[in-house]
Chains A and B, each alone.
Chain A
Amino acid sequence: MTEEDEDPLAAVEGPEEKALSSRRQGLGLVLLVVVARPLVAALEQWFAKPSGTTGADDDPALWALWAIVVSLSQLCLLAYVLSRQGRGLGHLGVTARWLDLPHGLGLAFLIRLPYMIGGLATHGAFGISLVSGLSMDRASLIELVGLLCLAARRELVLCAYLMTEVMVLTSSAVLAVVASIGLQALVHPSSRIPTLVSLLIRCLYYWKTRRATPLLLADLVSGLWVTLHTAGAGG
């Protein structure tokens, strides 16, 4: 008896079903690897007193190394999963066009805007974002590389890949946007309304344009902006 004789479902499963099943499997694996640990940490933060800082948080260089290694390993997994399906990062909208730069800068301003408005509404001022000077004193090269890797992981895995797969699997753009925002908010329990609005802007941009590079650039510029201002404010 062959395998198909034993499993009647396998016999009727066509190539399209197999492709969808492979995509579901890949999505599940990538999300498990990316989300499992942050989710447990988030649950701990919600339901119990956190066990204190980890060794990586104490040391900025070690934090940056952690960010680089963890992000790169997860991006490698994403690339491997895509390659098994005959796809690549290009299929997620990773491009290298001149237009990506102005798009990224514009998007960076847009995703900082909710924080500025939030600061204005809460404190009557824009917060550190506009009043403090920039400083490169505490931002080492390795920290900047760490920021880039984290931005790539966040935008490629939790936005571009997740939204693409959910849209293909469910044909629902709303569900894709909700899944991406929900998952990112879930692993960052301290997320507030400005963060959620910022995530919504990113997801809507990706949904409309299917371009991931401007998203990545915007996330990086936004992260740099905060880091350099925090350093300038002595934070």
Chain B
Amino acid sequence: MFCPRCRNEYREGFSWCRDCEVALVEILPGEPSENAIDNRAIAKKEVRDAAQANAEAESLRILELGLVLFIAFGYSLVASLHHLWYGWAHGSGVPEGDPIWSALGDVAASAPAICVLLYVLSRQGRGLRQLGVTARWSDLPLGLAVLVLSWSFLPLLLLGLMVFGRQHGPLSASLRGAHWHAPRLSTAVLTPLSLMGILCMAAEEELLVRAYMMSEVLDLTGSAFLAIGASTCLQAFYHLYQGRGWALIHASTFLVYSLFYWKTRRATPVVLAHFAHNLWLGLSQPGF
């Protein structure tokens, strides 16, 4: 037994401190019991373990994000770097292939990457639904709205560049080369296989770089700015093999898609918008 005031210890049978005139207590105030000490140590260990497990889980998610992007876009990134270094556009001068085999190649290139994404998500107990892949009627009008918005964003970008006197940059060069009269449409891409190829490519880009990458960056850093910036920049960067001008044009489109995804967390409308965008490019500029 202890005196709570002078903190002296007494033998069994005493219950009163005669010096301080107070009743004795079993535990001194401010000194936790052994059980309490044990519980606190266990709690501390649990917190430490949880923090460590959390850090490991975060590292694994970063690794998985890198793996998925590396498998899907590794070569495009390298080709873009090569283009930046040597100024030579990948695929320039390559004869146009058979559209059927080209479409099959697109499917074979994008389907495995989507499967890798599904495999990685399954480890995390997630699926495409968690990334915002839905099947609602409202997806179609929303997709069209995103497409129109991304197209109307481009003139604003051009206007901005002209105002700042940068009409001699790579973007202007690309746009001067483009045909601004009403294009003659080619129906070569309107076959089921070609449409499938275009859809797979659009789904690969939007599911991986937009929905998955943005979700992961948002979860890991909590920064919407970083998520939008990383997604848009990466997508524009691996399009550099088409030339710097085209990459800038694509960047404005991807920025609109990223903003839409950030606000709504819905992936299907952006996949549809990207599909429609690529379909238009295929119709108006065969072999794009």
Contact = CB atoms under 8 A, between A and B. Distances in A.
Q: Do A and B bind each other?
A: yes
Contacts of A44: 98, 101, 104-105
Chain B, interface size category, equals 20 to 34
Contact of B116 (A29, A39, A55): A29
A65 interface: yes
A125 interface: no
Contact of B112 (A36, A41, A48, A65): A36
B78 interface: yes
Interface residues of A, number: 34
A69 B67 contact: no
B45 to A, nearest CB: 25
A49 B97 CA distance: 9
A231 B90 CA distance: 25
Interface in A27-85: 29, 32-33, 36-37, 39-41, 43-44, 48-49, 51-56, 59, 61-62, 65-66, 69-70, 72-74, 76-77, 80-81, 84
A89 to B, nearest CB: 16
Q: Is the interface of A mostly helix, strand, loop or mixed?
A: helix
Interface of A: 25, 29, 32-33, 36-37, 39-41, 43-44, 48-49, 51-56, 59, 61-62, 65-66, 69-70, 72-74, 76-77, 80-81, 84
A76 B70 contact: yes
Contacts, number: 93
B113 to A, nearest CB: 8
B94 A36 contact: no
B97 A52 contact: yes
Contacts of B43: none
> Which 6 pairs of residues, A with B, have the shortest CB-CB distance?
A51-B97, A36-B108, A52-B95, A33-B112, A40-B108, A69-B74
18 contacts: A29-B116, A32-B115, A36-B112, A37-B105, A37-B108, A37-B112, A43-B104, A44-B105, A51-B94, A51-B95, A62-B82, A66-B79, A69-B74, A69-B75, A74-B71, A76-B70, A77-B71, A80-B64
A55 B101 contact: no
B183 interface: no
A77 B123 CA distance: 14
A74 B97 CA distance: 26
Contacts of A33: 71, 112-113, 115-116
A51 B91 contact: no
A74 B111 CA distance: 15
Contact of B94 (A52, A62, A76, A77): A52
